[in-house]
Amino acid sequence: MGNLGYDDTPFLPDGKWRVHDSTRPQPPIVTPGAACCDCVLVGPPSDAVILFEGTDLSGWVSKADGSPAAWKVENGYMEVVPGTGYIQTKEQFGDCQLHIEFAAPTEIKGESQGRGNSGVFLMGAYEVQVLDCYDNPTYPDGTTGALYGQFPPLANACRKPGEWQTYDIIWEGPRFEGETVVRPARITVIFNGVLLHYATELIGKTTHREVGVYEPHPEVGPLALQDHGDLVRFRNIWYRPLKGYPEG
Ligand code: MG
């Protein structure tokens, strides 16, 4: 496990672990419940806002320059085209229930952060890590489903490369008054039916080898997906805005 991570990065606010600390405990492996059939696709609920339903990327643009998203679409999924960069939704939204499915490349190459890396970026800034951690150890705060660089997942619940996997995320974005964070972002993540984070408060924006800090932004933002050079696929992406109980 020695060189999976870093030993020269700053300490996180807990004072115990460094960013990408290789000595932090590894998340326990939990085998998710069997899918009855790998091709089974459970569609969105009736009030969901569809971000990708499998046929085109008309709702997505390049994160870098707003040009049309250049990833590949086939057979109901989108796939990263390495070198074309992150893509993001035209849709801007805030607190929500988000569903997204992904599959790691079946051709196994690379190790640690080099295997099936991508990412789901809430508001374009806060990453839930996408990685192939099936039989592929890495630094804990970079494991599949990690709040990258901040919190390892409570479990490593990866399915095998090529199998479809699900994230169900409850997202509450940060609130700012001027430059001040009055409420940090809060996130709950369920991966293949296994809880990874429960109302965890983010330290700040996602960074690499640094402690993330908050930078003020609006209460809505896009969903972005990462091009990390690997042929990761995504499908069935939708959200429902969070609402309170009906007022009587
Ligand atoms: Mg990533």
- Give which of 30, 1, 31 is closest to 154, Cα–Cα: 30
Residue 138 lies in a domain: yes
CA 66 / ligand 1 centre spacing (Å): 21
Task: Determine the pLDDT at residue 97.
Answer: 98
Ligand 1 centroid distance, CA of 247 (Å): 40
Q: What's the gap in Å between 85 CA and the centre of ligand 1?
A: 12
Measured in Å, residue 78 CA sits from the centre of ligand 1 at 17
User: What pLDDT was estimated at residue 1?
Assistant: 44
Do 206 and 148 meet the contact criterion of CB atoms below 8 Å apart?
A: yes
Q: Looking at the domain assignment, is residue 129 inside a domain?
A: yes
Instruction: Note the pLDDT tens digit of each residue in 160-212.
Output: 999 999 999 999 999 999 999 999 999 999 999 999 999 999 999 999 999 99
Compute the distance from residue 227 Cα to the ligand 1 centre, in Å: 8
Distance CA 115, CA 130 (A): 10
Question: What is this structure's pTM?
Answer: 0.95
Dist. CA 230–CA 83, nearest whole Å: 10
- What pLDDT, on the 0 to 100 scale, is given for residue 40? 61
> Residue 124 C-alpha to ligand 1 middle, in angstroms?
12
Ligand 1 centroid vs 224 CA: distance in angstroms? Answer: 11
Supply 126's token pair: 């806060």
pLDDT band at 159 (very low <50, low <70, confident <90, very high): very high
- 47-100: per-residue pLDDT in tens? 999 999 999 999 999 999 999 999 999 999 999 999 999 999 999 999 999 999
The answer to whether position 29 is within a domain reads no
Query: What is the whole-number distance in angstroms between the Cα of residue 76 and the centre of ligand 1?
Result: 22
Q: How does pLDDT run across 7-47, given as a tens digit for each residue? A: 999 999 989 999 999 999 999 999 999 877 666 678 999 99
The whole domain housing 113 covers 36-241
- Residue 42 sits at the vertex; the CA angle it makes with 62 and 114, to the nearest 5 degrees, is 45
pLDDT tens for residues 95-124? Answer: 999 999 999 999 999 999 999 999 999 999
Domain-located, residue 3: no
**What six digits make up the tokens of 102?**
């992904």
User: Distance from the CA of 233 to the center of ligand 1, in angstroms?
Assistant: 13
* CATH number for position 152: 2.60.120.560
5 falls within a domain: no
How far away, in angstroms, is 114 Cα from ligand 1 center?
10
20 inside domain: no
Closest CA to 43 of 130, 197, 226, 166: 166
Q: Is residue 6 part of a domain?
A: no
Q: Identify whether 8 is part of a domain.
A: no
* Ligand 1 center to 119 CA (angstroms): 4
Number of domains in the chain: 1
Separation of CA 171 and ligand 1 centre (Å): 18
